[in-house]
Structure 1
């Protein structure tokens, strides 16, 4: 059996190989980032083993650093190891939940002969996870036949269906399904978004996955009218989008990408242009986080085009612009960044005081300051970054603790760039305050690891020493 330590060790070894070839070519991390193109923070994260980006990145590095195929081959070996690890983990989870295939088949066969109770009663009897807590036995996302049949039925492309793994269906919600069932599904997504802003996705994504399975079960096994069918498609698309976002924030990037692809397919077939726009913007966000700014820019442009054809929730039009701003900054394009930020601010000036959907409520003046400050960090504008990020942090209370923690980490990066390690340690310590509360977010932990690595060069500064002494206990509990 492969364990997570094996994967982590392989990831670090892959990063060391990249660092070795880069230094052999006498390039800095910034030099390499500009040539890929990527960001310096992404190169640093890869070399530390904190993240692994895609095949195109490694192919370009191999060519640029004249590694003769060594880096590309090392990446393929790591991919295979990670694939086997994920397959073993999924198989173990399925075995724990369902037992062997014969037992599962008997269970399904037996259920077909039973009289089906009311849908609401079934959910209670099945032990449906309560929003805000995840039972220990809750499985991961089940890429099951119900989902496959639903997407095919509603015209999803082969690309959307391909790549979905096999799994076991969740306890089905059969019988009569009404508009209230679809409404409850939509409300579950609303509650999950609210909890995400406070706690981050690590503790929530599996609960969202269970709600997605409820949606597919109702679509495939339930009885409903044509009107309810439309409501169910939209509700399932929305909770699927939420599951993708939470999985992204939890660092489950493969799960997130599949969820976004499914949400996009459902949104298009249901005619839900709002979810189509939002999902494309999420795909842009993920591409930026994984060091693929050109891909992010393409997704953001597609989201912008979708927004222009529908009157969506207030603030919706700002989201693609923020994704474009980050992508432009990662590609060292200050003009593109400033243009996109300006457009986003105009949307918020127009719509910022209007009620909006839960997934859009994070988009406030504080968030725009945080995104612009993030862009300034990537563009080397340390003074501007500090001012903007301080404003962003001041604009968030405990309801948005995850966002606040993220911008505290980025403020630490800005202060390090400005040559102020003591101030960086203060910001990083404040981020730890959030993380020792109830925030669990892959993004925050990954970026904080970069900061901790950089602060380790200043162990004699008291504030830094205090942070370095405190940081391992928080990192170990992730």
Structure 2
């Protein structure tokens, strides 16, 4: 009869062989785990013989480590020994004929599946990557970020098809919601408006399914942003107000008030409403002091900073035709955005200030600021910058023959007809 200790020894030897091949290939346990799409603990436990993964694990290791199939072949040999042992144990008259018990390895495999379907290390990697992409959203071209997010989308879909403990499942849904919200903003920048709406709605649905009010508030703020830049200002206001109901006392209230309510109300002509929203937002800044001097990102998972709030207030007051308020709010904001090298805000704040200079009868300075904005985003495709430049040119219509104003118009026309098409939006999972 095949001895149990023989099988155990063979499995440990296979684990040691995996560790040897991994080190020779220059991979850490965490690095190999990412490549074979298992948790780091799975790799570690397998190498020490405490865990016995199924055949797909070994075929992935063979492929990544380019072993020629030696690991899978040894796994198959050990599996054959295991099956022979249990067939003999189940033979009538055998001393081990207690066939009502599940094999020990079946129980171990089930425990492993529960523990490693989405371990903390893999979830943390996804969360960190999504946070970094949100931080890079206004620094790099949207098309480049879309390409960077493709493998994250695949990883999240794989995890969502598996099993996790409830706390891990909640984290996974939050990560999926944040990824969909980020993809919505990128689709907006790339003028894929229907895709943007679909991703933003998906972000809220994921947060709603997970019953996470904070993530729901963040998703509503993103939906408000999409609605604002697609000209649906009443929808933008409605999303912002519903987001505030979910936000409670959380950090997203500032963004919802200043980016959502104030700007939408300005387009609806409600000066008093804008003043109230801006005032409440700045009052809330005292409850959420900034963490250091960094400028918060547009899709921040925390509270808006004073610089971001000031820039959004300036946009609202510009819509109402109050250039003095615009200049007051942008005096320090532009310097902060320049220091942070956030290309989108650098351009948008200059365009708002440029339009304010038009109201102050200073076309030369206005045109110079607009040209700076377009130069800063020459390698990017920001729909918000395109729209704000168009608004600047509309305000400058009576000065359309001014040489520098014509330069702004020509540059905008060139951007509307790029040499290469933007990448298509990612397909939203169903």
Give the aligned partner of residue 333 of structure 1. Answer: 270
Gap runs ≥5 in structure 1: 1-113, 126-174
- Say if 1:281 and 1:299, in contact at 8 Å, map to a contact too: yes
Matches within 5 A, 1:22-171: 115-117=55-57
Structure 1 window deviating more from structure 2 (399-408 vs 222-231): it is 222-231
Alpha-carbon distance in 2 for matches of 1:120, 1:428 = 53
Q: Does 1:424 align with 2:366?
A: yes
Change (3 A) 1:351 1:118: farther
Alpha-carbon distance in 2 for matches of 1:224, 1:260 = 25
Change (3 A) 1:339 1:454: closer
Give the aligned partner of residue 256 of structure 2. Answer: 320
Q: Does 1:446 align with 2:383?
A: no
Provide, for residues 22-41 of structure 1, a one-character-per-residue CA deviation record: whole Å limited to 9, x for no partner. xxxxxxxxxxxxxxxxxxxx
So what's the TM-score if we normalise by structure 2? 0.64
Superposition deviation, residue 450 in structure 1: 3.9
- Say if 1:250 and 1:441, in contact at 8 Å, map to a contact too: yes
Superposition deviation, residue 318 in structure 1: 0.6
1:305 to 245, 249, 264: 245
Alpha-carbon distance in 2 for matches of 1:284, 1:429 = 29
The structure number with the bigger radius of gyration is 2
Matches within 5 A, 1:132-281: 176-199=117-140, 201-208=142-149, 210-220=151-161, 222-281=162-221
Counting matched residue pairs gives 310
- Say if 2:177 and 2:219, in contact at 8 Å, map to a contact too: no
- Say if 1:119 and 1:176, in contact at 8 Å, map to a contact too: no
2:357 to 398, 403, 415: 415
Superposition deviation, residue 179 in structure 1: 2.0
Superposition deviation, residue 349 in structure 1: 2.1
Alpha-carbon distance in 1 for matches of 2:253, 2:244 = 7
Provide, for residues 162-205 of structure 1, a one-character-per-residue CA deviation record: whole Å limited to 9, x for no partner. xxxxxxxxxxxxx8432222221111211111111312534323
Give the aligned partner of residue 17 of structure 2. Answer: none
Partner SS state of residue 412, structure 1: helix
Partner SS state of residue 351, structure 1: coil
1:391 to 301, 324, 332: 332
Superposition deviation, residue 298 in structure 1: 1.4
2:312 to 371, 392, 396: 371
Superposition deviation, residue 371 in structure 1: 1.1
Superposition deviation, residue 424 in structure 1: 1.5
Gap runs ≥5 in structure 2: 1-53, 66-115, 420-430
Give the aligned partner of residue 343 of structure 1. Answer: 280
- Say if 2:254 and 2:303, in contact at 8 Å, map to a contact too: no
Superposition deviation, residue 307 in structure 1: 0.9
Provide, for residues 249-304 of structure 1, a one-character-per-residue CA deviation record: whole Å limited to 9, x for no partner. 33222112111221111112222222100111111122222222222221111111
Superposition deviation, residue 388 in structure 1: 2.3
- Say if 1:199 and 1:402, in contact at 8 Å, map to a contact too: no
- Say if 2:317 and 2:325, in contact at 8 Å, map to a contact too: yes
Provide, for residues 129-150 of structure 1, a one-character-per-residue CA deviation record: whole Å limited to 9, x for no partner. xxxxxxxxxxxxxxxxxxxxxx
Partner SS state of residue 189, structure 1: helix
Partner SS state of residue 306, structure 1: helix
Partner SS state of residue 350, structure 1: coil
Superposition deviation, residue 213 in structure 1: 3.3
Change (3 A) 1:475 1:252: closer
Alpha-carbon distance in 2 for matches of 1:123, 1:458 = 65
Alpha-carbon distance in 2 for matches of 1:343, 1:394 = 24
Provide, for residues 331-371 of structure 1, a one-character-per-residue CA deviation record: whole Å limited to 9, x for no partner. 11100000000111011122123479982468222212211
Partner SS state of residue 199, structure 1: coil
Change (3 A) 1:329 1:251: same
Provide, for residues 410-453 of structure 1, a one-character-per-residue CA deviation record: whole Å limited to 9, x for no partner. 222222233332221011011022112x4431111232234346
Superposition deviation, residue 475 in structure 1: 5.2
Change (3 A) 1:389 1:285: same
Give the aligned partner of residue 129 of structure 1. Answer: none
Partner SS state of residue 117, structure 1: helix
Alpha-carbon distance in 1 for matches of 2:177, 2:170 = 11
Alpha-carbon distance in 2 for matches of 1:373, 1:205 = 30
